[in-house]
Amino acid sequence: MAGRNQAKVEMVRSKLGAAAANVPIVIGDSHDVASLEALAARTKVVCSTVGPYAKYGSELVAACVRTGTHYCDLAAEAHWIRKMIDAHQAEAEQTGARIVNACGMDSIPSDIGVFFLQREAKARQGRPCPQVKMRVTAMKGGFSGGTAASMIYGFEEGPKDPTITRYMTEPACPLQALPKRSRTTTWRSGSSRSGRPLPSHPATSRVNVGGVVALVIASGF
């Protein structure tokens, strides 16, 4: 059993009767560094599934990095992910911790869609697309409480920190390299635009995962 407060978790366990008396208790508070380090140190992998990560997740990532514990989450907060990379990349390489963000619905159509698209582009044209744009054409279901809270937190913090909007525009770039304004979000491969011209018609990849249909369009051959 796990929770933020030792006394409250023990109270719940006591109500379950004698059969639960020896069930282990794990305590983890997102703002209690000691509890997070103890949590990370006792396991090999931590999976964090509820945001806002920018508000509650930074200390957990730091604890996993320090203890060499692998970590994954469902974050779609690109500005926070960028900050975690900048803050912990060097130490994570030293401790061996693998920090894997954006493992949820937000990343599956884009990341996996781009992966399939680039694989097909290389098979057909011999090289990856220099630029990929994603457009969501249909969606089913609603936002979870954590997703809604993450969006609200981002809206609230945006006016206070202008880097949030800029990182959301192009999270892979260093801040000083970002354009001041951008109307579209793109995922760019590391390939060069130089070389033999390829057909001008766009390659497309349609991905249907978890009720989300996304059309990933490659252009700029």
pLDDT digits (tens, 9 = 90+) for 97-135: 999 998 876 677 777 888 888 899 999 999 988 888 877
Number of H helices and E strands in the chain, helices first, is 9, 9
All residue ranges of the chain with pLDDT < 50 are 173-221
pLDDT of residue 130: 86
- The whole-number pLDDT of residue 80 equals 87
Rounded to 5°, the CA angle 164-153-148 comes to: 120
- How many residues does the structure list for the chain? 221
Contact 128, 191 (CB under 8 A): yes
Report the DSSP pairing between strands 45-48 and 2-3. Answer: unpaired
- Could you tell me the CA-to-CA distances from 211 to 69, 76, 104 in Å, in that order? 32, 17, 13
CA–CA gap between residue 3 and residue 155 (Å, rounded): 29
pLDDT at 77: 82
Domains annotated for the chain, with CATH where assigned, are: 2-100 (3.40.50.720), 107-219 (no CATH)
Can you tell me the distance from the alpha carbon of 160 to that of 187, in angstroms, rounded to the nearest whole number? 27
Give 12's contacts (C-beta < 8 A, 6+ positions apart): 1, 3
Chain center to CA of 162: 20
**Crossing angle for the helix pair 58-67 and 33-41, to the nearest 10 degrees:** 50
pLDDT at 168: 59
pLDDT for res 129: 87
The pair of three-digit structure tokens given for residue 91, joined into one six-digit string: 């130490």
pLDDT score at 47: 94
Report the pLDDT value the prediction gives residue 178, as an integer from 0 to 100: 42
- The structure tokens listed for 78 are 């690109």
CB 216 within 8 A of CB 113: yes
pLDDT value at residue 177: 45
CB atoms within 10 A of CB 85: 15
pLDDT given for residue 29 in this prediction: 92
DSSP 130-165: SEEEEEEEEE-S---HHHHHHHHHHHHHTTT-THHH
* Contact residues for 161 (Cβ-Cβ < 8 A; gap 6+): none
